Copies of this chain bind each other. A is one copy, B any other.
Amino acid sequence: MPIAITDPDDPRIEPYRAVRERDLVGRQHRFIAEGEVVLRVLLKQPRFEIESLLLAENRLDGLSDALEDLPPDVPVYTANRQVMDAIVGFPIHRGILAVARRAPLLPLEEFLTALPEDALVVGLVGLANHDNVGGIFRNAAAFGAQGVLLDHESCDPLYRKAIRVSVGGALVVPFTRAPSAEAMVQALQAASFEIIALSPAGSEILSRVKPARRTALLLGAEGPGLPRELLARSRTVSIPMSGGFDSLNVATTSGIALHHLTSQKDEKPLPR
């Protein structure tokens, strides 16, 4: 049974208070999921424990089928728009919020060992923009990548906006942190991943690359790109572009590369 909240200061909805201010501080053990599409993805992910929902009254009916997947002990709070906006601190048009617990991050080596023999992962180096990280997770989920690795400079995929831009992909694709880009590359190589580093200066052309059974796609931020030391230790690949306009968004780049690598895998499976 939904619990109606009429007082914005009700202590039960404390985790939903001043959402933007808390986004800035960061949430260590929890994250906020926002909107219907993301909530529906979240409800299908057993690795995240949902603590509660806060819904605008008029959103309840449209979600009744999805809420059947919710464990019965999870409180569902409802509020009218005015109360909900007052709790959250801004007009929350989507009218759907959830608070869930983060899953613990596996140590890098353990994460890689647990992956199948045939695996495609994405490694992110210095990606501090939530839109880009969200977009990359969306593509990683769409093309069925088995995991994403983030270096210490890359931002949190469970930041509210990153989850939203990922359309829930950040909740679908398992990820973990590497203490540094260097450590990421070392661990990948130790786990028999071939590293494909995308760079405008890459020595091969993406459309001719045939991926290995275990492939890691390494992406750097749009301006600086990947550090030279990492490129020296990887198979470097470029996407040829039209003269004078050498500029792709990094999330788009991830989509292009993941499409090529997965379509090659499907066409010519390597012998086991």
In the bound complex, do residue A248 and residue B255 qualify as a contact, i.e. CB atoms below 8 Å apart?
yes
A242 to B259, CA, bound (A): 11
A168 to B169, CA, bound (A): 29
Q: Which of A135-169 contact B (CB under 8 A)?
A: 135, 138-139, 141-144, 167-169
Q: Count copies of this chain in the complex.
A: 2
Closest chain B residue, CB of each to CB of A254: B252
A260 at the interface (CB under 8 A from B): yes
Contact with B along A190-233 (1 / 0, CB 8 A): 00000000000000011100000000000000000000000000
A239 at the interface (CB under 8 A from B): yes
A253 to B143, CA, bound (A): 12
Contact with B along A230-260 (1 / 0, CB 8 A): 0000000001111111111101110110011
In the bound complex, do residue B143 and residue A249 qualify as a contact, i.e. CB atoms below 8 Å apart?
no
A87 at the interface (CB under 8 A from B): no
Smallest CB separation, A198 vs chain B (Å): 12
A37 to B262, CA, bound (A): 34
Residues of chain B with a CB closer than 8 A to A65's CB: none
In the bound complex, do residue A252 and residue B139 qualify as a contact, i.e. CB atoms below 8 Å apart?
yes
A172 to B243, CA, bound (A): 12
Closest chain B residue, CB of each to CB of A246: B142
A10 at the interface (CB under 8 A from B): no
Closest chain B residue, CB of each to CB of A143: B242
Supposing A142-B241, A252-B252, A266-B240 touch, asked if A167 and B247 sit within 8 A by C-beta, the answer is yes
> A172, A244, A263 — which one has the most chain B CB atoms within 10 A of its CB?
A263
**19 pairs, CB–CB < 8 Å, chain A vs chain B:** A135-B252, A138-B248, A139-B252, A141-B247, A142-B241, A142-B245, A142-B246, A142-B248, A206-B259, A207-B259, A207-B263, A207-B267, A239-B259, A240-B262, A248-B255, A249-B255, A252-B252, A256-B259, A259-B259
Can you add 8 more A-B contacts, CB < 8 Å, to A172-B245, A207-B266? A138-B249, A143-B242, A168-B245, A169-B247, A205-B263, A248-B255, A249-B255, A252-B255
